[in-house]
Amino acid sequence: MRGFDLRTSKYFYRLLIFCFCLSMLPVICLGLFSVYKASGAIQIKVNEANINVINQTRMRVEQLLKAIDNVSTQAIESALLKNAVSQPFSEQNYKDINELVDALIHIQTYELRISDVELHSFKQNWMIIGGGFQQAVNSPLQGVFPAIKKTSAWVSDNSLYPRTAGYPGISLIKSVPVNTIVPEGAILLHMPYMELNQMIEGSSGSGKVLILDADYRIIATDHNNKAGQLLKEKELRDGFAASDARQGDFQAHYNNESVNVVYIRSSYNDWIYASIIPYDVVTQDARAISWATLWTCLVIMLAIAVFTLLGSKRMYLPIRRIYESVQTPTGEELSENRSDELLYIGKRIDFLINSQQQMEAVVGNQSRQLKDFFVLKLFNGQLSPSEVREKISQFELPRWRWHAVLALQIDTLEQTNYGERDKDLLMFAMSNIAGEVIPSSSRYNPILIDRFQVTLIGGNHTEVSAFREYVSSMAEKIQKAAADYVKLKVSIGISQPFDEVLQTPAAFRESLDALKYRMRLGEEAILDITDVKPQRELTRYYPKLLGEELLHAVQFLDQKKAAELLSEWMRTLIKVPLSHREYQVALARLLVEVIGLLQDEGIAFQPLQGEASSLFEQLFNLHTPEETEAWLWKSIIVPVIEAQRKQRESQAVSLSVQVIELIQEKFDTDLTLEWCASRLNYAPDYIRKLFRKETGMNFSDYLSNYRHLMARKWLAETDMKIHEIAQKLKYNNAQNFIRNFRKMEGVTPGQYRAQVNLSDEE
């Protein structure tokens, strides 16, 4: 292996970075997790310690408050106070008053921290305040009970009893008697805020203790002189109000620093005992653990980095060997990827794979082209039997008991999104559809021949009828797929089944012949030559009467009548089961007769499409009655009518045409040339000569011929009796009509009617 420089290797650096990150990630995650868990545990411990501190403070304060409450209750229940509030004392009752004052002073012990005791009689309007007796019409303490809505309560709002405003503190106000709805008097025990402040001094632990009443008024604090004031810090008030829990904690800002607040809500009087701890104090131990964890992780990461570097070198060596082995023999390299070994190796492998795939594609494409060429020559009959057998073995083509040829042709591109320029692409699409629908084991490669898509299909069915059903089902699937996926109408011709593949050329011609019977069956047809080919051929059939009427309509420029007669002529023709060649003969005859109308008038025919010599080719390339009728009308009849109209307009209006129109209108009257001449304001001799020149016959002969034409029509299309027809055509008697008809037709009127009816039945 040649030497190499690791500094130029992108893959080595990627491998090194990946291994380093993979190794470091667990260490980093473990360190972060340890710090997170330790910080959380320390904060929980700090919170629990402070909860214990404030809980002890709460118990001490509540113990004092409850002791004061009990003492006051005992005093109220004593006979002296209970009876005194209902007595009308005055200065003359100084002995009783002194006794009451002594009893009240007895309550003010040092342990209870009570600074003053008052007794008020609402009923007798007197009160004892500060050891002195006073008469009072309305005691100021009487209005406190509606505000506190209790018979006994600790009151910290000095505004309820203004007398205590001079020495702020908390007051216990109880009704006398106890728990009465309408008290006769009240007792008040007052404790200054400073007594409570002294109780909580030195008990704050690592934080600052704060006692609040239910209205967030500061009852006691160990760090300032705000007792008696409402708590101004909104963030603290919101934290306390956020939950009704008896204890909890939250973070806030207090005195411009982040703090952690733990609190207990008293069930005795709804006071809040809180401990406010600076956040730095809470996280002090956690920071120490974090630094210890960081240094530990750094040492571990340094050791991992050393092992990663050594391990990456060993893991990189096989990649380097592969990189050097896939370089080109000439030493030529992809310079822009030389430092990225894996990218270079990948491109070299892709190059080899692409080269192999291209070779396989070329071989496969040539093999398919050879198969297609073989199938094309097979259909055209250009192979000998030995060549056919040799190619079938060479290409490993399937062998079947039965064979048939499917020839597909697009019916029309009208009312689709395609044009003639798309036809080749559409035919290739049809080949692909045939290849997808028919299993590869049941066909040779579908190919295109001229305007047709052709497929040789085979099967090993025991009965030929079963094989024919299978072929028909495949044709139906192809037709449906063309309609669903390409939105095209197609017709499919099917040859007769055959057992020797050498019969393929004849079968191909049969499938094309089958398609020509669309003239009778229309678009989207599946045409099995066995079904559509007539068992016997009717020769020389032509709807002569309708053809003559059509020629007269064209000759007299009646487009509406001509269109109706053309449609009727086509319907009459396709009702008769003829071979496709007989259909072509009948259509060619009509084409010649219509164009002959112009030649009789000396007008050159100028078709809309192509030269006159290509008219028959265009006609024979049409497939359906609708296409044929549309082409005859648009390309032949309309141009003929327009040419006649222009010719007659250029010569004014031909008198002969006017005479003919009079004959058509008045043929069933005693019409004479003289009457026509007088009607047209011309001399009879001039009309006679002009009519003979333009029509080639005398007026009387033309009138007789037209009456004879109408007689044939009435015989063929109506049930009129012969003598009625003779009378209507102005014959002297029926015998004259019969003799004249036999002279012109070779048969009597009755025989002619019978022949026409027999032809219609067939």
Q: What is 224-237 written as a DSSP string?
A: SS-TTSBP--HHHH
| Residue 72 CA to its chain's centroid (Å) | 82
- Is the CB of residue 583 less than 8 Å from the CB of residue 519? yes
Q: CA angle, 714 as apex, 712 and 720 as ends, to 5°?
A: 130
User: Looking at residue 334, what is its pLDDT?
Assistant: 45
Q: CA angle, 371 as apex, 369 and 374 as ends, to 5°?
A: 110
Residue 37 lies in a domain: no
Q: Are residues 672 and 634 in the same domain?
A: no
pLDDT(519) > 70? no
CA dist., res. 671 & res. 657, Å (int) = 16
State the DSSP code for 496: P
CA dist., res. 182 & res. 123, Å (int) = 10
Q: Are residues 562 and 472 in the same domain?
A: no
**Secondary structure of 110-154 as H, E, C letters:** CCCCCCEEEEEECCCCEEEECCEEEECCCCHHHHHHHHHCCCEEE
pLDDT(2) > 50? no
pLDDT(652) > 50? no
Q: Are residues 678 and 584 in the same domain?
A: no
pLDDT(601) > 60? yes
User: Looking at residue 450, what is its pLDDT?
Assistant: 84
pLDDT, tens only, 5-15: 555 566 667 77
User: Looking at residue 279, what is its pLDDT?
Assistant: 74
User: Looking at residue 649, what is its pLDDT?
Assistant: 57
Average pLDDT estimate for 48-65: 84
- Strongest mean pLDDT among 119-133, 364-378, 497-511, 639-653: 497-511
CB atoms within 10 A of CB 140: 13
pLDDT, tens only, 536-559: 554 567 777 787 788 888 877 778
User: Looking at residue 474, what is its pLDDT?
Assistant: 92
CA dist., res. 532 & res. 525, Å (int) = 11
Average pLDDT estimate for 184-194: 86
Q: Are residues 506 and 446 in the same domain?
A: yes
Could you list the residue range(s) of the whole structural domain that residue 618 is in?
544-650
What share of the chain has pLDDT > 70, as a percent?
86
User: Looking at residue 316, what is its pLDDT?
Assistant: 66
CA proximity to 277, closest of 252, 263, 260: 260
pLDDT(438) > 60? yes
**Total number of domains constituting the chain:** 3
CATH number of residue 673's parent domain: 1.10.10.60
Q: What are phi and psi of 527, to 5 degrees?
A: -115, 105
User: Looking at residue 402, what is its pLDDT?
Assistant: 92
Average pLDDT estimate for 76-85: 81
Q: Are residues 562 and 643 in the same domain?
A: yes
Residue 539 lies in a domain: no
- Confidence band, pLDDT 50/70/90 cuts, at residue 328: low
Find the length of the chain.
762
Q: What is the residue whose two structure tokens read 């492998």? A: 349
User: Looking at residue 189, what is its pLDDT?
Assistant: 87
Q: Are residues 402 and 527 in the same domain?
A: yes
Q: Are residues 549 and 519 in the same domain?
A: no
Structure tokens at 150: 């209790």
Residue 402 lies in a domain: yes
CA dist., res. 117 & res. 119, Å (int) = 7
CA dist., res. 72 & res. 28, Å (int) = 65
User: Looking at residue 453, what is its pLDDT?
Assistant: 92
Q: What are phi and psi of 231, to 5 degrees?
A: -65, 120
CA dist., res. 505 & res. 503, Å (int) = 6
Q: Are residues 615 and 644 in the same domain?
A: yes
- Strongest mean pLDDT among 169-183, 428-442, 670-684, 744-758: 428-442
What share of the chain has pLDDT > 90, as a percent?
6
Q: Is 491 helix (H, G, I), strand (E, B) or coil?
A: strand
Q: Are residues 619 and 686 in the same domain?
A: no
Strand partners, 152: 174
DSSP H helices in 244-340: 279-282, 284-325
Residue 429 lies in a domain: yes
Q: Are residues 515 and 613 in the same domain?
A: no
CATH number of residue 413's parent domain: 3.30.70.270
Contacts 24+ apart (CB under 8 A), 751-760: 752/712, 752/715, 752/716, 753/715, 753/716, 756/545, 756/715, 756/716
Burial of 65 (0-12, 13-18, 19+ CB in 10 A): buried
Helix 341-379 and helix 504-515, axial crossing angle in degrees, nearest 10: 80
Average pLDDT estimate for 11-20: 72
User: Looking at residue 225, what is its pLDDT?
Assistant: 62
DSSP H helices in 482-579: 504-515, 518-521, 529-532, 544-555, 559-575
Residue 69 lies in a domain: no
Q: What are phi and psi of 196, to 5 degrees?
A: -70, -40
Residue 614 lies in a domain: yes
Residue 482 lies in a domain: yes
Average pLDDT estimate for 693-701: 83
Lowest-pLDDT range of 177-186, 287-296, 317-326: 317-326
Give residues with Cβ within 8 angstroms of 524, minimum separation 6: 411, 479, 483, 489, 490, 491
Single residue among 650, 676, 704 that ends a domain in this structure: 650
Structure tokens at 508: 């191909």
State the DSSP code for 269: T
User: Looking at residue 611, what is its pLDDT?
Assistant: 47
CA dist., res. 630 & res. 608, Å (int) = 13
Single residue among 608, 625, 650 that ends a domain in this structure: 650
User: Looking at residue 481, what is its pLDDT?
Assistant: 92
pLDDT, tens only, 140-188: 777 777 777 787 888 877 667 767 666 778 888 888 888 877 788 888 8
CA dist., res. 731 & res. 301, Å (int) = 131
User: Looking at residue 456, what is its pLDDT?
Assistant: 93
pLDDT(564) > 80? yes
Q: What are phi and psi of 138, to 5 degrees?
A: -125, 115
CA proximity to 104, closest of 187, 37, 184: 187
Single residue among 593, 616, 650 that ends a domain in this structure: 650
- Strongest mean pLDDT among 499-503, 513-517, 523-527: 499-503
Quote the mean pLDDT of the chain. Answer: 80
Query: Who has greater pLDDT, 119 or 656?
Result: 119
- Confidence band, pLDDT 50/70/90 cuts, at residue 457: very high
Q: Are residues 616 and 643 in the same domain?
A: yes
User: Looking at residue 446, what is its pLDDT?
Assistant: 92
Residue 353 lies in a domain: no
Q: Are residues 671 and 645 in the same domain?
A: no
pLDDT, tens only, 380-423: 888 888 888 888 888 888 999 999 999 998 888 878 888 888 88
Give residues with Cβ within 8 angstroms of 352, minimum separation 6: none
Average pLDDT estimate for 747-752: 86
User: Looking at residue 12, what is its pLDDT?
Assistant: 67
